[in-house]
Amino acid sequence: MATTDDFGDELPTDDKTVGQTGHVEDHNRLSRELAEVQDVVKQIVANTPTIKGSYSSINSLPATGAYGDMYLVGSEANLYSWFTKAPDTTPDWHSVGNLRGEQGPAGAAGTIVGILDFGEVPPVGTAAGSLWWVADETTTVPGPDLTPIVVGTVANCSDATSTTLSLTGGGIVTQAGDIAVMCVVHGSSDAIVCPSGWNDPGLTTAAYYQSVGTTVHARIFTRECTASMGNITVNAKTGTKIAASVMIFRNVTLGANGEVNAINSVSTDTDSLTRAAPTVSPTASSIVCGFWFERVGSGNTAGATVAKPAAFTAGSTAGVTQNTGSGVTSCMGGYDLTANATAGRPSGTQNWVKTGTTSTQLGAFTLALAVA
């Protein structure tokens, strides 16, 4: 076996001249020298330090190894290598250090925000500190669950010129892209001011507005929510009673100008405790929701409740009252999360039914929200 001590012992001198004897021998000496170098290089390559695996303890290491063999041992990742350590004359396993450095400073808390396919990278603009699960090469990441859900509903009524819908008080935390639909009603024919950040689709489609003479006016507003959207304040004419109800959904969409997939509305000045929910015919797979609104005349001191249509789940009832004097307005919402494009929803006779003083002006909206 060649060693580095053998290097150069057969190199020809560099003072040869043309025609000098010994040319063939010089070639042979060069060949032998290169063979020795090649042998040493092979030994070096064969003995290149290589981490071959890990064991839980020193006692688990192989009985023997080869020069260059290395293993990680224990939870502290101590590195052991096979070599001869002076004054020993035979090789054995020896610790050569620890791959685990000192504890570094604590980093900022990260937030897992999504799952990526193998080889996929987070989208441009991803916030620092966000964490992503990355699938292995054999795993197919399922698509997002776009089942529509209700994020929350909240309502309120007021004898003042404005009312506030408290999302925070209702424990409602929106995500960016959630869709909110809101009905606002007051005892006047004056236009209701569209809240900042909301769409007013009634500017182009009449079904988003309902009026009964000069005594009640109702409007539907919509919006795409921001993350953790704040409370909502709506305003009416000075001295006018006002009520509002909002429902917020996830995994549904709005069209141009904030319009929903389909809408229908109705109102009347015939005294009644019942108002049939108007039907809509969605053009795409949609959920449906609706609002009941009313105004009652003077002398209303008793309590009131409203029962939603059988097909709906009731939204917040906090917008229903008749205890704030004369000309009181109320509003309440309900929804059906069943997603399909069936014409005539809600199907059959579906009534909003009030218990309390008879409404003097009342109406209802039904909206279809297309599934994302």
Give residue 189's pLDDT: 83
Q: Is the pLDDT of residue 2 over 70?
A: no
Which of 346, 342, 220 minimizes the C-alpha distance to 293? Answer: 220
Rounded distance between C-alpha atoms, residue 160 and residue 204, angstroms = 29
Distance CA 352, CA 305 (A): 11
Residue 71 has pLDDT above 70, yes or no: yes
Q: Name every residue whose Cβ is closer than 8 Å to that of residue 43 and which is 6 or more positions away in sequence.
A: 1
Average pLDDT, stretch 30-50?
71
Model confidence band, residue 128 (pLDDT cutoffs 50, 70, 90): confident
**Which residues, 6+ apart, have CB-to-CB distance to 94 below 8 Å?**
80, 81, 82, 83, 85
Residue 288: the pLDDT is 98
Cis peptide leading into 346, omega within 30 of 0? yes
Q: How far is residue 359's CA from residue 328's CA, in Å, rounded to a whole number?
A: 10
Residue ranges covered by each domain of the chain: 4-15+22-46, 50-96, 149-371
